[in-house]
């Protein structure tokens, strides 16, 4: 999921005189912070909670495999033996590197134990079938700031406060 510091979510309001509109903030060329923050998330069916990690940079295959590794370690520590992963057709989900990593991970889990991954891809252009999508939309609306852009740290803290989850260290993109 992308969390923009500038774009405002679609919101509706009712007022007596005129409608209240959120204005999209304009980027500043001299602002060193990124325009948006990327985040991976998992909606848990057992607890209805979310496990979430921010990404430094863009979500790419190498970052996806790092997230999946962290996720399966955490779930295995809780005694979970399988992760049913429902996701869309984003390039960093369906890449050869991610598919190969999942296969290798499942072979290792079969030998040594742990939490295996069962991937259930969604049909193309059908985000409404993914139960996490409405959660993302509500979160974007809840943290919106109508009259100013948020700093990256403030944005991350608001997201964590809304989802009631801890702010963990971001997953760094490894540059070769």
The pLDDT of residue 100 = 95
- Output the CA–CA distances (angstroms, integers) from residue 156 to 10, 24, 114, 139, in the order listed: 20, 19, 30, 12
| Higher-pLDDT residue of 29, 167 | 167
Percent above pLDDT 90 for the chain? 27
Q: Per-residue pLDDT averaged across 31-54, rounded?
A: 82
Residue 17 has pLDDT above 80, yes or no: no
Radius of gyration of the chain (CA): 18
pTM for the predicted model, two decimal places: 0.78
pLDDT digits (tens, 9 = 90+) for 122-142: 887 777 777 778 788 778 777
Percent above pLDDT 70 for the chain? 79
DSSP 3: E
Q: Per-residue pLDDT averaged across 112-121, rounded?
A: 93
| Higher-pLDDT residue of 148, 71 | 71
Q: Tell me the pLDDT of the chain averaged across its residues.
A: 81
The closest of 160, 151, 175 to 35, measured between CA atoms, is 151
Residue position matching structure tokens 């370690």: 73
Which domains occur in the chain, in start order? 2-172 (3.30.420.10)
Please tell me the distance from the alpha carbon of residue 171 to that of residue 22, in angstroms, as a whole number: 31
- The torsion angles phi and psi of 12, rounded to 5 degrees, stand at -115, 145
Confidence of residue 20 (pLDDT cuts 50, 70, 90): low
Would you list the DSSP string of 90-117? -HHHHSHHHHHHHHHHHHHHHHH-S-EE
């Amino acid at each position: 999921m992308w969390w923009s510091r500038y774009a405002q979510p679609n919101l509706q309001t009712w007022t007596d005189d005129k409608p209240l509109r959120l204005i999209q903030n304009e980027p500043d060329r001299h602002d060193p912070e990124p325009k948006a923050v990327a985040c991976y998330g998992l909606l848990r069916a057992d607890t209805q909670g979310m496990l979430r990690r921010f990404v430094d940079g863009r979500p790419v295959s190498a970052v996806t495999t790092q997230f999946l590794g962290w996720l399966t370690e955490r779930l295995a520590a809780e005694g979970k033996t399988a992760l049913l992963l429902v996701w869309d057709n984003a390039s960093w989900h369906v890449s050869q590197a991610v598919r190969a990593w999942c296969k290798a991970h499942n072979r290792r889990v079969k030998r040594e134990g742990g939490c295996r991954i069962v991937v259930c891809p969604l049909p193309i252009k059908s985000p409404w079938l993914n139960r996490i999508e409405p959660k993302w939309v509500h979160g974007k609306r809840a943290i919106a700031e109508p009259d100013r852009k948020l700093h990256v740290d403030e944005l991350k803290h608001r997201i964590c406060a809304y989802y009631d989850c801890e702010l963990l260290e971001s997953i760094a993109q490894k540059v070769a």
